[in-house]
Structure 1
Amino acid sequence: MIFEIYTIIYDAYRFLKNNKINILLLSIFSTLINFIILIFFNIKKKKLLILYNINYFKKLSYLNIINSMNNNQKNIIFYIKSIKIISFLISIFFLYIFTIYLIQSISFSIKKNLYIILTKILQILLFLFLIIFFQFFSIKNNFYNFKISEILSYILFSFTPIIFLTEKKNIFIAFKDSILIIKKYKLIIIPIILIWFILKYLIMIFFKKILIFSIYKNIIFLNICNNIIFSFLIICLFRFYMFVKINNIL
């Protein structure tokens, strides 16, 4: 199984390398969606910088920071974080979908009708709101719970969009199959998701330490870099699902 995992990761790397322009454009597009939503909800530069500084707070934990705030400050942070959750999930959602269709169109020469694609997008968007609600509930109660719920969400739903977009199954059957894959291959999938989260954190630290641009521009480049890494994760998960499906080992 180790050789197969190496092959999947190497194959994903080659795909990313051969389609780097497409992946970069999708990552930029996803970042633009993120910031358009933030602007639409009036998350201005000043508020973004407040949140940015809190994310890079060195000495205090999230919980200590929140406990030291008054109610008005907590409401502002909750509002900003809530909108960021919505904007991030929707932008990542589109990145996920278009990356999957990019893989399919190149790897399998699949051309789907635009109406079918839009129908799939609308269906999975409804499912996305369940995840948003789940994370809202967590962040409102405790920031530690939010981080745990964020990791759990990515683990539990990791294969759901792939199965839903590539198979003739509804979203709930796709979610059930995703859970089955996670249960069977938890020692493979969970470390991959955790490594991705660690990489996100290291990139965040990098952009904190090396302020080449203004903080606002750094946030944009941080988003683009995270989107590229997330695209690589999507490709790996897609290849792994194809491996499971072809070998009928689910």
Structure 2
Amino acid sequence: MTPLAAAEDSDGDGYDNPSETFTIWDGADAYPNNPDIHEAVFSTGCDPPVAKLDLGEPVTFTCTIRNEGPVAVKIYVEVEEGEHLSNRYIPGTYDIDPEERIELKINVLGSSKGYAMAKLQVFSRANGSPTQVFDLPIEVTGDEWSGLNSQGVSDPTLDFSLMTTILDGIANWLSQHTPWEITNMNAGLLVLMMTFALVSIVRRKRARSVWQQNMQRKVVEDSRMEMRFDTIRKDQMFHYGEEPTIPDSPVYIIRRNR
């Protein structure tokens, strides 16, 4: 067997240089030419910096993450909501080129009264602690959000926060995998168009299926009708070939009156 080539460590810090088969996510050096740094470095910020919510009120943080290193990095982002909050953000994986910045929409909901600290966590290693943690301080009051309908037992009105979170996730994914910057409004229009297209395809397939069933039924009915006509024609031909006979007349005695 041919021995495997030794991995290269340019700066001699004990971390191998990244390659196509061994990335930073796998444990490679995020700074292959700097012996003092080997972990990925990010610049992170969120707007608004703090939030104050009523019970049941949602808030969306617009957060940006920038790769400050010289090597492309794959990251995994999740949110730890902590106490008094309900997290609506869907965790995701993103690829960030050097000096590239991505934008995420983080949606949380006030669930109980108190002070909370949601945490935006960025992982750049497959098996390791977060590379960066960004705090989102939130105060949840004891007042019921005006968006909730409180009559006896409070029943929430139509809540679009979950839909907004889903659209934000779709927009983030499309922005990462296409050359365009996709907003949640663009994502909503795209989802609407895809829904109409799917409905049209389903209706078309159903109409074609019904048409095929009707055609099969018509073929069967035509075959049965043709069989009945054949039976009638054969019966007529059989009677047509018979010799006609003169029926016997009854015998009557006819007397002439004189």
* TM value normalised by structure 2: 0.25
Structure of greater relative contact order (alpha carbons < 8 Å, 6+ residues apart): 1
TM-score (norm 1): 0.26
Where is the helix percentage greater, Structure 1 or Structure 2? Answer: 1
The structure number with the bigger radius of gyration is 2
